[in-house]
A and B are shown apart, each in its own frame.
Chain A
């Protein structure tokens, strides 16, 4: 019980710190409508969130994070630039064996910045906030950039339908790899595909359900187009692999990216954003030579980060999850904004874990 009081006090301290940096304090409901979260995350969220039933409102979920309700509230009130902070508990069901020891409810204190005027400066502002806050604890920061990977996929010389399929699975490394191997001609076509394309797949069963004959025929036409298209060039597949396996300090990565852009000019804007961010970090006194960058960082987490991503772990406590995480989620504001959107970046810190590693 004394522990709970200490965590609450620590959360209050962090909240005050963020308010001192100019963020407006916001609250969200603990009970969130399930449909919004299900639409965003899909069925996977059911394994992670506590679901409950309200006789009037239907299915509800105990908030699994703050970002979604904060973004929704912001987008409903317009899409003006803003800085928000909040503190409260999030709730995560722990269904799988590996997660058995993790907490089912814990505090988060967050900072969300909605502003498109200078995205590099916004990235640097949020990262620096957590960096400075956590500096006394000797944590290891890690960074990544989903924007580079997205830009590389969009830059492939191949069918738009293939790029869309890859981007859809960019957060599911295993299926992404399987698709890439197939589109690159490195894996055989799936079972039954040859017969289907030859027009030999037939069924005398009646068509039942909502999916229409036209939808089936449209897919067959798309598969024929795909079969006729040349494979993704090997040099471009290698480039994707190079980006995914990047694991160096940020300044070294900048040099590698300059080389990549020669091979794939479409990477240019994403690389320019990376460089601008690096300069903005340096301007805030954070040395890029001391910052680790991983090309695949953020790929298996929740699927709304689409740009800069970061996390802080405790090297002496490999048993603990990251103490703070964050990133850019421009696409999320568009999804929840009903026609409006605004570039946004934010992060959360866990007061309970800060107390655990405090000297």
Chain B
């Protein structure tokens, strides 16, 4: 047995994750060909890195198939119900920052806040005969937020990509999406509602609460935690 650590398999998130661990004395080295998803750890005996899609890491953590995993805090909240019972946030990693925000057409000069959106939703439903549509792929996060805020007369429509284009295409009236600079939103004639975002996301090192640990695994986990503590 060994302590399994799920790592994002692609792009900047993977590079930054590798850098973050390297700064704490754990180096990940790609093995095999460039295209092969294989990697090994140097600097911490008994740690077994596994390359996975960032979107699948929450599920693997919840199932206990990996002991640790790096993914966005938004991913865990979106994909896992009662996420706190399933995973523990060991350390926010300080990169991969992005906000989940609500955005409406910039030409809606009468809408600045969530209160405005709620009032517009009521009028929109009365005028058009259906609920105001919000396009998103973050169904759980958005629904929980709007329920908590007491917003009514909206519906979520699924959009797995090019979400900013849905309003122009008239398949939605508003959107909820991840943004870091807001540039794509502006380019698509949308503006972000005032106030705090639905969620401020960043990359986080998570621990699976339900993964079985052998005595050796527990020792490796302890060594890693000590290492992280020392680097604070």
Residue of A nearest to B113 (CB): A190
Contacts of B163-204 to chain A: CB distance below 8 A = 167-168, 170, 172-173, 189, 191, 194-195
Enumerate chain B residues within 8 angstroms of A209, measured Cβ to Cβ: 105, 167-168, 170, 172-173
Given contacts A205-B105, A205-B189, A209-B170, contact A219 B119 (CB under 8 A): yes
Q: Is the CB of B150 within 8 A of A169?
A: yes
Q: Does B118 contact A (CB under 8 A)?
A: yes
Residue of B nearest to A217 (CB): B110
Q: Is the CB of A43 within 8 A of B124?
A: no
A43 to B107, CA, bound (A): 26
- Which of B1-9, B49-57, B61-69, B77-85 is found at the contact surface with chain A? B77-85
Contacts of B107-151 to chain A: CB distance below 8 A = 107-110, 112-113, 115-116, 118-120, 122-124, 127-128, 131, 139-140, 143-144, 146-147, 149-151
Q: Does A3 contact B (CB under 8 A)?
A: no
What is the count of residue pairs linking A and B with beta-carbon distances less than 8 angstroms? Answer: 117
A229 to B172, CA, bound (A): 34
A90 to B4, CA, bound (A): 41
Q: Does B220 contact A (CB under 8 A)?
A: no
Among B109, B118, B128, B139, the one with the most A-chain Cβ atoms within 10 Å of its Cβ is B109
Contact of B128 among A43, A208, A210 (CB under 8 A): A210
Residue of B nearest to A93 (CB): B81
Q: Does B214 contact A (CB under 8 A)?
A: no
Contact flags (1/0) for A210-221 with B, using CB distance below 8 Å? Answer: 110001101110
Q: Is the CB of B143 within 8 A of A46?
A: yes
Q: Does A202 contact B (CB under 8 A)?
A: yes
Residue of A nearest to B188 (CB): A208
Residue of B nearest to A201 (CB): B109
Enumerate chain B residues within 8 angstroms of A202, measured Cβ to Cβ: 109
Contact of B152 among A38, A42, A208 (CB under 8 A): A42
Task: Give the bracket for the number of chain B residues in contact with chain A.
Answer: 35 or more
**From residue A228, how far is it (CB to closest CB) to chain B in Å?**
16
Enumerate chain A residues within 8 angstroms of B48, measured Cβ to Cβ: none
Q: Does A44 contact B (CB under 8 A)?
A: yes
Enumerate chain A residues within 8 angstroms of B107, measured Cβ to Cβ: 203, 205-208, 216
A206 to B84, CA, bound (A): 43
Q: Is the CB of B106 within 8 A of A205?
A: yes
Contacts of A179-209 to chain B: CB distance below 8 A = 190-193, 196, 201-203, 205-209
Enumerate chain B residues within 8 angstroms of A169, measured Cβ to Cβ: 150, 152
Q: Does A135 contact B (CB under 8 A)?
A: no
Q: Does A168 contact B (CB under 8 A)?
A: yes
Residue of A nearest to B108 (CB): A216
Given contacts A43-B143, A47-B144, A209-B168, contact A191 B194 (CB under 8 A): yes
Task: Give the bracket for the number of chain A residues in contact with chain B.
Answer: 35 or more
**From residue A237, how far is it (CB to closest CB) to chain B in Å?**
19
Q: Does B153 contact A (CB under 8 A)?
A: yes
Given contacts A97-B82, A202-B109, contact A211 B131 (CB under 8 A): no
Q: Does A255 contact B (CB under 8 A)?
A: no
Contacts of A216-239 to chain B: CB distance below 8 A = 216, 218-220, 223
A289 to B105, CA, bound (A): 57
Q: Does B154 contact A (CB under 8 A)?
A: yes
Residue of B nearest to A193 (CB): B112
Enumerate chain B residues within 8 angstroms of A206, measured Cβ to Cβ: 107, 189
Q: Does A96 contact B (CB under 8 A)?
A: yes
A43 to B121, CA, bound (A): 13
A46 to B156, CA, bound (A): 10
Q: Is the CB of A215 within 8 A of B150?
A: no
Contact of A42 among B127, B128, B153, B172 (CB under 8 A): B153
Q: Is the CB of B127 within 8 A of A215?
A: yes
Enumerate chain B residues within 8 angstroms of A172, measured Cβ to Cβ: 150, 152
Q: Does B31 contact A (CB under 8 A)?
A: no
Q: Does A338 contact B (CB under 8 A)?
A: no
Residue of A nearest to B132 (CB): A211
Q: Is the CB of A43 within 8 A of B155?
A: yes
Among A42, A208, A209, the one with the most B-chain Cβ atoms within 10 Å of its Cβ is A209
**From residue B70, how far is it (CB to closest CB) to chain A in Å?**
24
Given contacts A42-B155, A44-B147, A174-B150, contact A223 B110 (CB under 8 A): yes
Q: Is the CB of A44 within 8 A of B122?
A: no
Q: Which 7 A-B pairs have the closest CB atoms?
A: A175-B150, A192-B112, A205-B106, A172-B150, A207-B107, A201-B109, A209-B167
The 12 listed contacts between A and B (C-beta, < 8 Å) are A42-B152, A43-B147, A44-B147, A47-B144, A100-B82, A165-B119, A191-B113, A196-B112, A203-B107, A208-B107, A209-B170, A215-B123
Measured CB to CB, the residues of B under 8 A from A are 81-82, 84-85, 105-110, 112-113, 115-116, 118-120, 122-124, 127-128, 131, 139-140, 143-144, 146-147, 149-156, 167-168, 170, 172-173, 189, 191, 194-195
